[in-house]
Structure 1
Amino acid sequence: MATHSMLQDRIRVAQDLLGRVEQLCNRQQRSVEGRAKLCSKLRAELKFLQKVEAGKVVIKESHLQSTNLTHLKAIVESAESLEDVVSVLHVFTYEGAGGQKQTLVVDVVANAGHTWVKAIGRKAEALHNIWQGRGQYGDKSVVRQAEDFLQASRQQTVQYSDPHIIFAFYNGVSSPMADRLGEMGISVRGDIVGVNSVAGADEGGAREEGSEEEDDEDGSCGEEEEGGRDEEGQGEEDEEDDGDEDDALHTRVDRATVVASLAFPTEVKVDVCKRANLDITTLITYVSSLSHGNCHLAFREQVLTEQAAQERQEKVLPRLEEFMQGKELFACQSAVHDFRVILDTLGGPGEKARAEQLLARLRVVADQPSERTQRLAPSSKVNRRSLTIFGTGDSLRAVTMTANSGFVRAAANQGVRYTVFIHQPRALTEGKEWRATPI
């Protein structure tokens, strides 16, 4: 009877979580990358539980306790607690200590990429025992996982700052572990619980071998047929299967003694880059007649008509001005030279006047592409001019403003991710207005 009641409760939780994930994009007022993957995992778990309910799968009660829902619920609650969530279950690739490519799953990426969250549903007792080297073979302590997160984050900077890492514990964390994570620079959220006795304990001990505590963190993006379970119905993450007998023998954690309870911050302060590097597409867009009110026209050129329609729907200049406000503005010599050539050929008098005003606000610097830029292989999207402009911005540790999203994607495909502000393009149109049709 107890098993049936527990099963019904798990099914209700899975259904509730699915509904909450569906609402996530509405709350964030944007598309959240990975939402479909999270829903898929929840549906797989629900499907498995419903098979158990129908008698198609027989499992032990302890296996029912090891449902993946604990971890999935922790992910959902973390996403609901943060602002500007970019993605969930995001797989990052980074270079490990031995130079080998490694993958890391970040449960929630928020605050426009500045915040990484690992949601942890396992009990404080189990986490503490694993940290002390008393876990099962293959268990990887949270402290070791924190080292992986720190190493990966240093290679995934956002506006030239390392993402801020939060470990969110939904079943508590021992005070010594929380202190160790804090020393490493990891923020801890959740209940910090006391330790009854530390006699003979090596508080810094951590296992040297093993994989992530959740099997899900193998970087796989595949769909699970049965929620990642084996034939006996064992959950892939085993979040709650902490072994009561083992806890009774080894645990030094007293979950009844809550030393502190740390909630997610209502506001996260981040280091925002105060430098902007303007590329040619941004210089043109800024001075374009389209961007300055002359967009109620149908041009003979289809691309210009489309840009005019886009401008009527969403003005681009206010976005540029807002981003540039308070920043030191740069442009490299190649960008300015080519911009002037285009301006002399196609620009109208108003566009040329605005160009002089804009260039007076900029600091023009010598071309100085960064070392990693020079390693990129040229292609149709990766040309020398773009390498020079984006590479100079990279050397300056500035955010490159651009409408050239093709280059950004092509460089990312080669493993180089630039810090960019992407906007819609606008062409120089003043010289073609005379033959355009007013709308």
Structure 2
Amino acid sequence: MDNEYTLEELACLTQEKIDLGEKLLEDLAKLDSVDGVRKISKKISQELKFLNKVKNTRTVSVNHILCSNLTHFGCLVQCLLSCENVTHVDYPLPLEERGSKLRVDIVADGGATWIKVIARNPKSLSDAVHGRTSYGSKSILEQAEEYVEAAESNPHMFKPPRVVFRFLSNIDDELVTELQQIGVIVLVLQTSQPVPRTETATVKSLNLDITTLIAYVSAMTNGSAHWEYNEPLLTEQARWEREKPIKPLLEQYFHGKELICCETAYSSFNEILSILGGPKEKSRAEELFRKVRILPDVPLPQEMKNIKVGGKIKPRSLQIFAFGLMHEAITVTSNEGFVRAARMQGLEVPVFLHDARALTEEKEQSGRLLDE
């Protein structure tokens, strides 16, 4: 087949691929902060390095051009640029039942949409649909079933993410119908359709963690942040509070939502308050709990039973976050350590994170009031 092209034509075709790769790197540089983008940029750079080498040594072949992954990366980046609120690119998900991993090309809409980009030509697509691929490769319908099953097992805000397969080439109506029956949304990249966005999930209940209860009633967050304390951490928190007040943020997030709290969080908070809280902080707590429903603790849901306790995973925190999951409520917390540690063990909990604030009314007696 190489005989159909002169060396100059092959060099020209290779340069087109190189130009594409360099443009993709420019586009990806704008999205450098998105998880996984640097990994894709590195893969594109490796492709460019190889293509430049075969071009410069005049050893390029047609297969080098046809088999280049830059076609796939081009589709991926084009799709990426049309998406909103992308959180991950090339995101690995464990498939527990199958003992393998599924890679989601793009996680968009804050986690509510999963996109698989398929850059195959029509002939290759037809083969892939019917399983006429290399040994061990899955048909597109098998991949669709895996994606939908994984979405069911990995809900975002208590709902499975919508699964989108975005094709470079037009596909036949029969395949579209079969994919839709499985539960996949089908788009064709050539038509420049934007990915359909999922409406932001409206969660009506908020589960208040101990850290949030403390932050809400603290003297520091209620107009008394101009202090220097004996404890450097509290002085630092006061500086953060002056720069970014927490209470207005919480008030805005609480608006129009049901506030709930488990018995464990309620009793633990009251224990802390009785030891460290000042009179005004205790008064604010009484006022707050006129708006908060205190409900019984719940058994750990199945997805939490295998979580190993230790380090940032404390039994009390596990109970509080389990309560939020069971009631399909977003847990409001400053316990970022638990959230990260749980994620490392494969548990994603819907949370609203805020900075920590301590009870400080009693600490003011030994502190120094700053000039405002």
TM-score by length of 1: 0.78
Q: How does 1:153-232 map to 2 (within 5 A)?
A: 153-190=151-188
What residue ranges of structure 1 are gaps of 5+ in the alignment? 26-30, 193-260
**2:75 corresponds to 1:145:** no
Give 1:176 deviation, angstroms.
1.5
Which amino acid counterpart does residue 4 of structure 1 have in structure 2? A
Match of 1:408 among 322, 339, 343: 339
**2:268 corresponds to 1:338:** yes
Distance 2:24 2:64 in 1: 20
- Secondary structure of 1:51's counterpart equals helix
Give 1:136 deviation, angstroms.
4.4
- Secondary structure of 1:322's counterpart equals helix
**2:68 corresponds to 1:70:** no
Regions of 4+ moved over 4 Å = none
Match of 1:102 among 100, 103, 120: 100
Which amino acid counterpart does residue 166 of structure 1 have in structure 2? V
Contact 1:369/1:393, CA 8 A, preserved across alignment: no
Give 1:415 deviation, angstroms.
3.1
Q: CA RMSD of the aligned region, Å?
A: 2.0
Which amino acid counterpart does residue 359 of structure 1 have in structure 2? F
Give 1:264 deviation, angstroms.
2.0
Distance 2:104 2:329 in 1: 26
Aligned to 1:18: 25
Taking a change above 3 Å as real, the CA distance of residues 135 and 383 of structure 1, as seen in their structure-2 partners, is: closer
Aligned to 1:426: 357
What residue ranges of structure 2 are gaps of 5+ in the alignment? 1-7
- After superposition, the C-alpha distances for 1:328-349 in whole angstroms (9 at most, x for unaligned) are 2110011111111211222223
Report the number of matched residues: 362
Contact 1:291/1:311, CA 8 A, preserved across alignment: yes
Q: How does 1:260-409 map to 2 (within 5 A)?
A: 261=191, 263-265=193-195, 267-372=197-302, 373-409=304-340
Which amino acid counterpart does residue 337 of structure 2 have in structure 1? G
Contact 1:283/1:339, CA 8 A, preserved across alignment: yes
Percent identical among aligned pairs is 36
Give 1:174 deviation, angstroms.
2.2
Taking a change above 3 Å as real, the CA distance of residues 369 and 325 of structure 1, as seen in their structure-2 partners, is: farther
Contact 2:109/2:197, CA 8 A, preserved across alignment: no
Match of 1:54 among 39, 53, 56: 56
Which amino acid counterpart does residue 341 of structure 2 have in structure 1? A
Give 1:118 deviation, angstroms.
0.8
Give 1:130 deviation, angstroms.
2.3
- Secondary structure of 2:92's counterpart equals strand
- Secondary structure of 1:290's counterpart equals coil
- After superposition, the C-alpha distances for 1:341-373 in whole angstroms (9 at most, x for unaligned) are 211222223322221222111111111132333
Greater per-residue helix proportion: 2
- After superposition, the C-alpha distances for 1:177-201 in whole angstroms (9 at most, x for unaligned) are 1121122221111169xxxxxxxxx
Match of 2:15 among 8, 16, 19: 8
Contact 1:127/1:141, CA 8 A, preserved across alignment: no
Distance 1:15 1:147 in 2: 35
Taking a change above 3 Å as real, the CA distance of residues 140 and 15 of structure 1, as seen in their structure-2 partners, is: same
- Secondary structure of 1:62's counterpart equals helix
Distance 1:111 1:379 in 2: 33
